[in-house]
Structure 1
Amino acid sequence: MKKSFKKYVSLTTLAMTFASTLVGPTTQLVSAQEEGEDGVLEFDTLVQNEGEPIEGGTLNYALVSDSTFSGVLNNLLYTGRPDGEIINFFNPGLYGYDENFTIDNSGFADIEMDPENSQVTITIPEGHTWHDGEEITIDDVIFPYYVIGNPDYTGIRYGSDFQNVAGMEEYHNGDADEISGLERVDDYTLTVTYNTFNNSMLQAGGGVSNYIEPEHLLGEVPVAELEDSEYVRKNPVGFGPFKVESITPGEAVTLTAFDEYYDGRPNIDEMVIEVVNPSTIVSELKAGNYDIASLPADQYETYADATNFTPVGFLENAITYIGFKQGTWDEENGEVVPEPERVTSNKALRQAMAYAIDNNAIATQFYYGLRQNANSHITPNFTEYHNAEQEGYTFDPERSQQLLADAGFVDNDGDGFVEDPNGEPFTLGFASMSGGETAEPIAQYYIQSWQQVGINVELVDGQLMEFNSFYERIEADDPAIDVFQAAFGVGGDPNQSGLYGRSAPFNYTRWATEENDELLAAIESEESFDEEFRQQAFYDWQEYMIEEVPTIPTLFRYTLTAVNNRVSQWDTQIGSDLKWSDIYLLSEEPTAE
């Protein structure tokens, strides 16, 4: 359950007192739920259960989804998260990483960075095999580059990270037979040369490929046909802690422990993964049908007092935010064009709108305390770069009104809404997405909160938008949209140039300043390879973003996982060092209520 495993199983602690009279193992209070500020819950990542381990056993794992999994069981080709969750049990990536998603040498391969020469050297250990007994060599690390770079490749991973490999574009375009930036040093060593090398390369998902695939099998299949091949759909082969024994398409996968796993054979003999609908997962868990399952936040009240399993969790690397449209996108030149004359380009207005909303109230009233007010644009899971001491925006309507008044936003005509500093009335169009029972009341809450401090805001078209329509209109800079609520996942790299950079298409606010350019450049600079400089660069950027507030970071969110009492221990911490060889089952069947 090391690094790469945690990326999916957490991918993102309940104070429970278990009576000593419970049947089965008792729970040691390592995982505890505490009520923090304003009723927001705080969770630990680890649960440890006491009891006598059994030998082997079968772990029942619920893949919680309202649809079947696609069955594209290959890291180079899958797109759906359920497929990725399954893959990581039998074919985890090359390298490990710590709690900040910084690549380290805790995984299968050792990674040596050489920023001066824009190179990374990857070394894999000798004497290890794939599940079918074939030896793993560096050719299995090189092979994914040639699949992804092949013009017949059907997946989605040929992007800037792979294009940054020297010679990749020439190979992709048919101008070269080989990728010049790949130097095969020996059977176990590869040196990769890149066109550019910034400190995002240090991050998992930040530019260094984490892929390793069995070339002796996949290399026999034309790249265009890989996605539908038997080694992807029916008989995938990996090198991870478990190997695939059987697949019921879209519904279930049975895996068994791999005796030769490089990090120690799992003590659990078998794992059965089954798709379970979110609407029934809590009842299934209480009935003792599953050991491990993700938990839906909107059902928290139904499992908060569960006695046969413990929810553990972590704040995932995702953030909900409110954005302000402040310009447009110049497709020809590939950069944002700020429009300072827009009312939303007024910093005081944005700050006032941030102080007008109570995000802790939303966290407790709509999400049972499983969300918390966000104080930064960097998520807390990046422990070295998130400034936990930074003061974010908290509910302060008086301060909101004072900011408006000081900036010249005054209600001149007595209608209850302020005019802009030029004395002109204005109404802001607010866009938010449909989905779930809470979407509409949350959107209305924001609108009412802004109206109460004198800012006239209305829902665009008078209704919530469907997901695809929402993003089409946001990306097209629809003039009807002034303010919008959205969310994004950060991935393994805290550098947010791709979200807030001047040349980033995902900079949906179309906001840019020279100071922001400089702060982002500092994060990406050579000096930022120094850890102290890098941390300060992130701190400086966070402080500036809270001051300028092109977007209001509203909520950080917990991902919760249920762990049955018979599982000896489970850790959802990003970068956890817990090994599969340290996890036992404490009874033959999962504990039921």
Structure 2
Amino acid sequence: MKKSKIGILSLAVVMGLSVFATACGSKSSGDGAKKKSITATMNSTFDGKFNPGLYDSVYDAYILDQTFASLWKQDEKLETSIPDLAESWKESEKKDAVSIKLRKDAKWSDGKPLTVDDVIFTWKFIADKEYSGSRFEYVESIKGAKEYHEGKAKDIEGIKKVDDYNLEVTFEKSDARDISTKVFSTPMPKHIFEGKPVKTLENDPAVKKAENIVTSGPFTIKEIKAGEFVVLEKNKNFYGAAQGKPKLDQIVWKVLQEDVAIGALKEGKVDMVSRIKPSSFETIKGFKDVELVEDTDLGYQYLGFRTDHPKLSDKKVRRAIAYAINREQMVTGLLKGHGTLLSTPVSPKSWAYNKDLDADYSFDPAKAKALLAEAGYKDTNGDGFVEDPSGKPYVLSLEFPKGNQVREQSAKLIREDIEKVGIKIDLKQPKDFAALAETVQQKADKTMEMWLMGWTTDVDPNPKNIYGSTAESNYYRWKSPESDKSIGVSMYDQKAFTKEGRKALIKDWTKIFQQDSPVVLLYSQNIIDAYNKRVTGVQYDYRGALGHPSFVDWDVK
């Protein structure tokens, strides 16, 4: 899940535009030299957890993508990992082990060498029993990681350091997934964090304060003003690798409400605007010297069910709700066509997407009513709403977070659609994202019934981490032996070792998922970014333009 908050415009933010009015392409340094600099905007504030093992927000991710290097990067087709910090790697024939060789010219921004010790430290950090972040799933498959995480072992058995630039990793068993999913790829500096308590690290100065943050990527963090801006400066110790060295000297990220950011873009006061609402597309389309780009996001929005709740334990009821919702109307109306309907929790951009299910769960109120009747939910008193099989009033609560305008509007449409087939909906007042997320994640909570949120998926489909019966992120409490078995086959069976074989096995799992409907997949909203044409070298794909690794090629005329 990604946090989504509404940015609050203040006088300080507006005044900040004049302080960082670098859209003309350069500014003078103290010695008279010109620095190439651009200003980009984000429409919600960053959390300020500038550490690859601790961040939660997509807005923190923008900063981290430009300041921290990874072992590898994904290509635009989501098929191949491209070498970066890792010069090369080789998996065993059974895919139960991998040897990784690091480049020898990589350094941290403070000049210290980046070695295997940093990689191992990071894996052990996110496998630590005190770690409360969401990335343990990226080391869980390493042999002994689970025992280390549970405090039953003092080390992770499957990690072996060969020398400063070579290591070997053994997995619990053969694993067909891409290497980018099996091991965490963005190292933290061991010499900065070693010996510090894991559970308190998110508030450490080396995570929060610009002067203390040590990075490994193309840029360093020069200045942070909470809720307002982050200034990035070219990292003089960056090695280049797959990306090359940045052409810009500085990138300024400002927090601006979208309407203000769009006005500033039109006037040339900012250079790039990220994650624009579909409703703003036509407005920006008419701007002179501004380029609009969009592509399908890897993430999706969903209606979640607490499947262990008595009101939602019958899959016929969940399927009825899926048929009742006019998702097509959301894409054409709320998204203005800038989105894609989803039938499975695999992105349409992925090689594993199951096109055969595209037509399933189309809007069909008659089928929804029929399924409710089959399950024993009928209107016995003539008030237009069904009672449960025991004759009691049947009302479902629906909760959603603040901060995403399209999501807030979709909550009302979903209530209207579901009530039209006879289910009474108690639409709650929107909550702050953090408060709602905490409630959704609490396994002991018995009040939650339905909610709206979103997921960002991996480039390599991995249903186990979200939909496995024992998965930490299975907030739906969906327990399906059939699903677990199918997921296991898609990851570990010999048939999964070829792409076509694994695609077929994931396709089998998506059918099970759809029949059980632990969630209703709503849509994938396109990422829409805009930039002034004086910024050159911009590329985009499913990561958008501002999240694309081509940022090292950004330049100004």
Structure 1, residues 96-121: CA drift from partner, whole Å, max 9, x if none? 22346556244331232237473221
Q: CA deviation at 1:459?
A: 0.6
Structure 1, residues 265-294: CA drift from partner, whole Å, max 9, x if none? 446231222323124211121121233331
Alignment of 1:62-141 (within 5 A): 62-67=40-45, 70=48, 72-99=49-76, 101=78, 104-109=81-86, 110-114=88-92, 116=94, 118-131=96-109, 134-141=112-119
Distance 2:152 2:391 in 1: 59
- Over 3 Å counting, the alpha-carbon distance change for 1:165 and 1:295 in structure 2 is closer
Aligned equivalent of 1:380: 348
Distance 2:285 2:337 in 1: 11
Equivalent position SS for 2:368: helix
- Over 3 Å counting, the alpha-carbon distance change for 1:388 and 1:94 in structure 2 is farther
Give the structure-2-normalised TM-score.
0.77
Alignment of 1:185-204 (within 5 A): 185-200=162-177, 202=178, 204=180
Structure 1, residues 229-276: CA drift from partner, whole Å, max 9, x if none? 499731544443x34373244433231265742236446231222323
Q: 1:208 and 2:183 equivalent?
A: yes
Aligned equivalent of 1:312: 293
Match of 1:546 among 484, 505, 514: 514
Whether the 8 Å CA contact 2:222–2:233 is kept in 1: the answer is: yes
- Over 3 Å counting, the alpha-carbon distance change for 1:165 and 1:377 in structure 2 is closer
Distance 1:165 1:98 in 2: 25
Aligned equivalent of 2:9: none
Q: 1:269 and 2:244 equivalent?
A: no
Distance 1:579 1:472 in 2: 32
Aligned equivalent of 2:482: 515
- Which deviates more, 464-473 or 106-115? 464-473
Q: CA deviation at 1:146?
A: 5.2
Aligned equivalent of 2:133: 156
Q: Point out where structure 2 has 5 or more consecutive residues left out of the alignment.
A: 3-32
Match of 2:273 among 281, 288, 293: 293
Q: 1:497 and 2:467 equivalent?
A: no
Distance 2:374 2:150 in 1: 58
Distance 1:230 1:551 in 2: 35
Q: Which structure's CA Rg is the greater one? A: 1
Distance 1:304 1:547 in 2: 41
> Structure 1 counterpart of 2:503, which letter?
Q
Q: 1:223 and 2:196 equivalent?
A: yes
- Over 3 Å counting, the alpha-carbon distance change for 1:231 and 1:142 in structure 2 is farther
- Over 3 Å counting, the alpha-carbon distance change for 1:346 and 1:116 in structure 2 is same
Whether the 8 Å CA contact 1:359–1:372 is kept in 2: the answer is: no
Distance 2:283 2:73 in 1: 36
Q: Matched residue pairs, number? A: 511
Alignment of 1:323-334 (within 5 A): 323-327=304-308
Distance 1:440 1:79 in 2: 21
Whether the 8 Å CA contact 1:265–1:580 is kept in 2: the answer is: no
Distance 1:469 1:89 in 2: 29
- Over 3 Å counting, the alpha-carbon distance change for 1:244 and 1:472 in structure 2 is closer
- Over 3 Å counting, the alpha-carbon distance change for 1:471 and 1:271 in structure 2 is closer
Q: CA deviation at 1:583?
A: 3.2
- Which deviates more, 277-286 or 367-376? 367-376
- Which deviates more, 224-233 or 513-522? 224-233
- Which deviates more, 474-483 or 423-432? 474-483
Whether the 8 Å CA contact 2:41–2:261 is kept in 1: the answer is: no
Aligned equivalent of 2:16: none
Whether the 8 Å CA contact 2:50–2:64 is kept in 1: the answer is: yes
Whether the 8 Å CA contact 1:99–1:576 is kept in 2: the answer is: no
Equivalent position SS for 1:234: helix
> Structure 2 counterpart of 1:244, which letter?
T
- Which deviates more, 280-289 or 175-184? 175-184
Structure 1, residues 127-146: CA drift from partner, whole Å, max 9, x if none? 45445555544344334345
Structure 1, residues 494-546: CA drift from partner, whole Å, max 9, x if none? 22223322223543333333322332222222322222221011111222322
Whether the 8 Å CA contact 2:385–2:424 is kept in 1: the answer is: no
Alignment of 1:13-24 (within 5 A): none
Equivalent position SS for 1:430: strand
> Structure 2 counterpart of 1:107, which letter?
D
Q: CA deviation at 1:441?
A: 4.7
> Structure 2 counterpart of 1:218, which letter?
I
- Over 3 Å counting, the alpha-carbon distance change for 1:255 and 1:430 in structure 2 is same
Alignment of 1:547-562 (within 5 A): 547-562=515-530
Aligned equivalent of 2:232: 254
The alignment yields a C-alpha RMSD, in angstroms, of 3.9
Equivalent position SS for 1:393: coil
- Over 3 Å counting, the alpha-carbon distance change for 1:408 and 1:134 in structure 2 is closer
Structure 1, residues 204-251: CA drift from partner, whole Å, max 9, x if none? 3x3312133455x537x64349732499731544443x3437324443
Match of 1:234 among 211, 219, 231: 211
Distance 2:522 2:364 in 1: 14
Q: Point out where structure 1 has 5 or more consecutive residues left out of the alignment.
A: 1-7, 9-54, 329-341, 588-593
Give the structure-1-normalised TM-score.
0.73
Match of 1:428 among 388, 391, 395: 395
Equivalent position SS for 1:212: coil
Identity of aligned residues (%): 23
Distance 1:141 1:434 in 2: 36
Q: CA deviation at 1:191?
A: 0.6
Distance 1:150 1:78 in 2: 17
Q: CA deviation at 1:60?
A: 1.1
Distance 2:519 2:306 in 1: 9
Distance 2:105 2:116 in 1: 12
Structure 1, residues 284-339: CA drift from partner, whole Å, max 9, x if none? 211212333313316515424333322222322222222333325xxxxxxxxxxx
- Over 3 Å counting, the alpha-carbon distance change for 1:61 and 1:154 in structure 2 is farther
Alignment of 1:333-344 (within 5 A): 342=310, 344=312
- Over 3 Å counting, the alpha-carbon distance change for 1:349 and 1:142 in structure 2 is closer
- Over 3 Å counting, the alpha-carbon distance change for 1:581 and 1:540 in structure 2 is closer
Distance 1:359 1:581 in 2: 35
> Structure 1 counterpart of 2:234, which letter?
T
Equivalent position SS for 1:321: strand
Whether the 8 Å CA contact 1:318–1:490 is kept in 2: the answer is: yes
Distance 1:211 1:377 in 2: 25
Equivalent position SS for 1:223: coil
Whether the 8 Å CA contact 2:346–2:352 is kept in 1: the answer is: no
Whether the 8 Å CA contact 1:98–1:575 is kept in 2: the answer is: no
Q: Which has the higher contact order (CA 8 A, sep 6+)?
A: 1
Equivalent position SS for 2:51: coil
